[in-house]
Amino acid sequence: MGTLKLSRQALIHNLDIIAHHIGDRDKIAVVLKDNAYGHGATLIAGACREYGIGHAVVRLEREALEIEEFFEDILILADVPTCTNPKFQYVINSLDTINKFPATTKVELKIDTGMHRNGIGIDEIEKAFEMMSAQQLECIGVMSHLRSADTLSSEYFWQRHTFDGLKPRVEALSQQYGWTPRFHLSNSAGVFRAAHCDDDIVRVGIALYGCLEMDISLQQPFLKPVLSLWGDKISTRVLKKGERVGYNGIYTAMCDEIISTYDMGYANGLDRLASNRYSTPQAVELRGRISMDSAAFSSDLDELLIFNDANKYAKAVGTIGYEILACLDKDLKREWIIE
């Protein structure tokens, strides 16, 4: 099976850029949900801890349990507690979930400021505080999520203004109930839309991995992709002129050609839509249909670089780098490269 090679140098480079921009590395909360966007949660967690990062964000409690040794606190976006852990805090996404959290659970209240995906309504804030108190929860954070920070529009500023405008109201309620919550709105794109950081933490996901893409009219930070995908050769043959390769024979050799089959297919994260239309960073052409567990390329290399920038690979199949990274097979070998 293929290998994911990770660059610690690129990861540190990205963290340096983020820390410099916000002016305080202690504000960085690294988003490690979905196996750290396919990179390997424990590998990235360990490297971030060595850098001095104390905050992490995941989707599920089981993800938090995998990385708890590396961080001071972990925010869990979409789960309810099944264990007691002083490092964990859980996001409340709607009023009707508040009674699912056991007493004394540390929670963060998510407010819908315009994305309309989850979070309580602005008109429900007082009710949420009342219900959290009645449930004997501890509110340690108030948050929201940006919907269009990576595009050139006024929506970023509208959401920022809405969120910041709620702070005095929330602070007054928090004081009434004896809580001192942290406030945070910025995701990766939001970090670079602002000249300075007013949030208590910033939730950094795709920028950490070097695959943030901003509209061409917005300033693009010089980030480096952390991950590259490599395949190992299974077999090599000469495809004779006129012969076809793979399912349905969608590629026909125009002349005698050396091709090899590599141990990466759509079950491992290659998108089937790349079939017969993708060229690697070393200009090696993919030949024919991608199979479940393999793909053919015009190469005889023992090890083949398939991509070293998920965004560029994503463009070949009409999607985004996020999807490519998140769909990488968890059973693929992951390792740090020697630099």
Per-residue pLDDT tens for 295-304? 999 999 999 9
Q: Please say if the pLDDT value at position 339 is more than 90.
A: no
pLDDT at 170 over 90: yes
Helix (H, G, I), strand (E, B) or coil at 208: coil
The stretch 279-304 carries a mean pLDDT of: 97
pLDDT of residue 112: 97
d(CA 181, CA 89): 12
- The per-residue pLDDT for 13 is 98
Structure confidence at residue 259 (pLDDT): 97
- pLDDT 10s digits, 66-93: 999 999 999 999 999 999 999 999 999 9
Q: Band the pLDDT of 103: cuts 50, 70, 90.
A: very high
Mean pLDDT of 329-335: 96
Superfamily of domain 227-336: Lyase, Ornithine Decarboxylase; Chain A, domain 1 (2.40.37.10)
Task: Using a pLDDT cut of 70, give the percent of the chain over it.
Answer: 100
pLDDT reported for residue 195: 87
Helix (H) / strand (E) element for 119: namely none
For residues 133-141, average pLDDT: 98
Is the pLDDT at 29 greater than 90? The verdict is yes
* DSSP states along 128-167: HHHHHHHTT-EEEEEE---SSTTSSSSHHHHHHHHHHHHH
CATH 2.40.37.10: which residues of the chain?
Answer: 227-336
Residues 158-175, mean pLDDT to the nearest whole number: 97
Any idea what DSSP says for residue 220?
Answer: P
| pLDDT value at residue 219 | 87
The per-residue pLDDT for range 48-70, each reduced to its tens digit, is 999 999 999 999 999 999 999 99
Q: What is the pLDDT of residue 1?
A: 78
Average pLDDT over residues 315-331: 95
By the 10 Å C-beta count (0-12 exposed, 13-18 middle, 19+ buried), 235 is classed as exposed
Residue-wise burial string across 240-278, b where 16 or more C-beta atoms lie within 10 A, e elsewhere: eeeeebbeeeebebeeebebbbbbbbbebbbbeebbbeb
Question: What integer pLDDT is reported at residue 146 of this predicted model?
Answer: 96
* pLDDT mean across residues, the chain: 96
Asked: is 7-204 a CATH 3.40.50.2030 domain? The reply is: no
Contact 2, 268 (CB under 8 A): yes
- Residue 255 CA to residue 336 CA, distance in Å, equals 39
The two tokens of residue 104 are 């004394």
Predicted pLDDT of residue 132: 98
Q: Residues 222-240: what's their mean pLDDT?
A: 97
Per-residue pLDDT for 174 more than 90?
yes
Task: Show which residues are catalytic.
Answer: 33, 247
Residue ranges of the chain that CATH labels 3.20.20.10: 7-204
pLDDT value for 43? 98
